Amino acid sequence: MTGKFILMLSALMFSMAVLAADNQYVLGVDGLACPFCAYGIEKRLHKVDGVTDVQVDVGESLVRVTLQEGKTLTEERARQAVDEAGFTLRSYAEAGDEAGSSDAK
């Protein structure tokens, strides 16, 4: 019984992780090395409804945004947040679709 429960719990956690991964977005934004810029992007994206995490990858000039299940980040909303922070959205993609990311310029 305990084994079954652990198995079910593991399956549930795995499915949640997959769902969470489906709700991630990757934004390309250049010039993010300075914290005054990077924190500005984070601050604005955190104000978007449903955003739970924002990670800035300085080396690759990418911003990874995670949202609650059922919430979405449209390209328009992402562009607005990036613009408000003083930058230009270079690319926009849902996680897992980075190879096919659109050029947002």
Partner 1 sequence: MRNVGKWLAYSTLGLVIALTLLGCAGGAINWNQEPPYSLVLAWGEKGSGPGQFNDPTGIAVTETEVFVSDARNGRIQVFDHQGRFKRAFGTAGDGPGELGRPMNLTIHDEKLYVPEYMNDRIQVFSLAGEPLEIIGGPGDGPGQFNAPGGVAVADNGDLLVTDFYNQRVQHLRRDGSFVRQWGTTGKTGKGAGEFTYPTDVALAGDGTLYVADGYGNRVQVFDTGGDFLHKWGGPFALGIYGPFKGWFTTATSIAIGPEGNVFVADFYNDRIQKFTAEGDYLTAFGSEPDNPGHTGMAVAIESDGTVWSVNFADNRVEKWQPD
Residues that bind partner 1 (CB under 8 A): 33-36, 39-40, 43, 58-59, 86
| Closer Cβ to partner 1, 32 or 93, answer by number | 32
| Closer Cβ to partner 1, 39 or 64, answer by number | 39
Strand extents, DSSP E, 1-105: 24-29, 51-57, 62-67, 89-94, 102-103
Phi, psi of 93 (to 5 degrees): -155, 150
Q: How far is the CB of 35 from partner 1 (least distance, A)?
A: 5
Q: How far is the CB of 58 from partner 1 (least distance, A)?
A: 5
Q: How far is the CB of 60 from partner 1 (least distance, A)?
A: 9
| Residues contacting residue 39 through CB under 8 Å, at least 6 positions apart | none
In angstroms, the CA 35 to CA 56 distance is 10
| Closer Cβ to partner 1, 38 or 78, answer by number | 38
